[in-house]
Structure 1
Amino acid sequence: METVLELTKENIQQIVDVSMKQLVVLSFWSQQSPESVALCQTLTSMAQKQSGRFVLAKVDCDKEMEIANYFQIQNVPTTLVLSEGKPIDGFAGSQDEGQISAMLDKHLPAQWELQLNQAKNHLALHEFEPALVLLKQAFAESPNAEVALVYADAQLMAGDLVTATQLLDSVGLADQDSYYQSLKAKLALALDAADTPEIRQLQQAFDSEPSNIAVLMELVKALHQAKRNEEALGLLFTPLSKDITIENGDAKKLFLEILTALGQGNALANQYRRKLYSLLY
């Protein structure tokens, strides 16, 4: 369903059907009323900026007198809020964006709830990347347990076990439901899988010879393969912070390759990118 559309006799039933699941704002306007044209433009801008929170149905009263009469519209501009096929709020005359937002907020879900629901739809299709973008925004706005659990689920799909652990640790006892328990079990299995015999062997070799950068680099590669990137970058940054050209520059090259693999939007990569730049400049 489009965010903004023209309401006509042909699609009015469709709009009523939409209002059974989502809030619909009806904007009654006329070319004869500049005030109503301006208000309609304000509502259009709001609907586009808040994409998904409500549907704006514009009613041109010069063309759709029957619809205006059905809703007993006396003057334009008039704005009605439609839910489950019935008007539940509205106002006559003009209002500014702040006043309109205050009215709509009484009836609309919070932005984080919309983002959470959109993220759940992505996760159902195993699309964790767009889900992570939405969940990061939702968690920043409202870091509650409901968001934290879904966010942790997405991070497990992405293989970010460190962030998944932090998110699950933030969930209080009262919210540790069956979903939480299933995520904890997934995390435990993922951690076990990430602790490979190769990593243990390389870790032992490095522990016995901590100045051997070649062994360290092999350990870092193995940790990166197991998606244990925070450990990998932390280990490699220690010798780089002392000598950026160590191992003929190969250590710096490996470090940059891991950052590139993590991507521009990755918080861990951005953190270590800044650390590296502080050494270079």
Structure 2
Amino acid sequence: METTMELTRDNIQQVVELSNQQLVALVFWAAQMPESKTLLQTMEQLAAAFPGQLQLASVNCETQLELASYFQIRSLPTTLLLSQGQPIDGFAGVQSREQIQAMLQKHLPAAWELKLNDAKALLQQGDATAALPLLKDAYAEEATAAVALPYAEACLTSGDLAMAKTLLATIKLADQDGYYSSLMSQLDLAEKAADTPEIRALQQALEASPADVEVLQKLATALHLAHRDEEALALLFTPLSHDLNIGDGAVKQQLLTLLSALGQGNALAGQYRRKLYSLLY
């Protein structure tokens, strides 16, 4: 949609419906009033600075008297902000760009909201990988259930069960709605699926022979493949904290390989990198 629309009787319903999705600024102006054209230019610049967040609709009161009357405009220029189909703010006359921007900032979505909305769209498209960094950033700014729940969904889809479990544990009783219950059920199923007979057999073998490095490594690999990375990292790090060269360095190398597989942006990997560096240096 273009940055500036001309509001008419034919498209007013479209503009009102658009205000359910983003902020709409209506500027009532007239060509015979130079100051109103100046204001319109300022609003056009601001709308261009907030693409996808602010839609500008100009109302030429010389040709759209009926609309000016409908919105009860008493003087020109006048600016109204619409949200959810209703006027929520505005001003009469001309104001500076700084004054107008200050008013807009009260109603425009915060950075975390934009990231959250983009991430939700990606989740609906099935792209949890692309949604994860957006949700991580949004959660760092606004650690609420509104962000935590889709963040947990993205983690579940990506196989990061530990992070999903951590996020869901933060949800307060008042926010434990149907979405939360669905995610908890998905987590329960994922955890049960990750508890394979192979893992149980390796755990029993390691309990019987705690010094068997080969079994330890096989169990760490199995845990990683089951997306139980927190357990895999802890399993490898514990003996390394006592002997960095255990298994002739094979355990340390496996830990480094696992950290590399998890990636630089993974919080759990970052935690264990710091732990490993503290042992090395």
- Please report the TM-score for the alignment, with normalisation by the length of structure 1: 0.75
Matches within 5 A, 1:71-220: 74=76, 79-83=79-83, 88-91=88-91, 92-95=93-96, 97=98, 100-105=101-106, 107-220=107-220
Gaps of 5+ in 2: none
Q: Retained in 2: the 8 A contact 1:28–1:68?
A: no
Shift of 1:67: 7.9
Q: Please state whether the residue corresponding to 2:265 is helix, strand or coil.
A: coil
Shift of 1:20: 5.1
Query: What one-letter code is carried by the residue in structure 1 that aligns with 2:231?
Result: E
Partner of 1:263 in structure 2?
Answer: 263
CA distance, structure 1, for counterparts of residue 47 and residue 95 of structure 2: 11
Query: What one-letter code is carried by the residue in structure 2 that aligns with 1:125?
Result: Q
Shift of 1:200: 1.0
Change beyond 3 A, Cα 1:90–1:194: same
Q: Retained in 2: the 8 A contact 1:26–1:80?
A: yes
Partner of 2:54 in structure 1?
Answer: 55
Q: Retained in 2: the 8 A contact 1:27–1:56?
A: no
- Per-residue deviation, residues 96-139 of structure 1 (Å, max 9, x unmatched): 5476344442x445554444343332222221122222322333
Change beyond 3 A, Cα 1:7–1:69: farther
Shift of 1:221: 0.5
Identical pairs, percent: 49
Gaps of 5+ in 1: none
Change beyond 3 A, Cα 1:28–1:196: same
Q: Please state whether the residue corresponding to 1:258 is helix, strand or coil.
A: helix
Q: Please, what is the CA RMSD of the aligned residues?
A: 3.7
| Most deviating of 262-271 and 12-21 | 12-21
Would you say how many aligned residue pairs link Structure 1 and Structure 2?
A: 268
Query: What one-letter code is carried by the residue in structure 1 that aligns with 2:210?
Result: P
Shift of 1:84: 6.4
CA distance, structure 1, for counterparts of residue 65 and residue 241 of structure 2: 71
Shift of 1:65: 8.2
Q: Retained in 2: the 8 A contact 1:156–1:164?
A: yes
Shift of 1:225: 0.5
Q: Please state whether the residue corresponding to 2:25 is helix, strand or coil.
A: strand
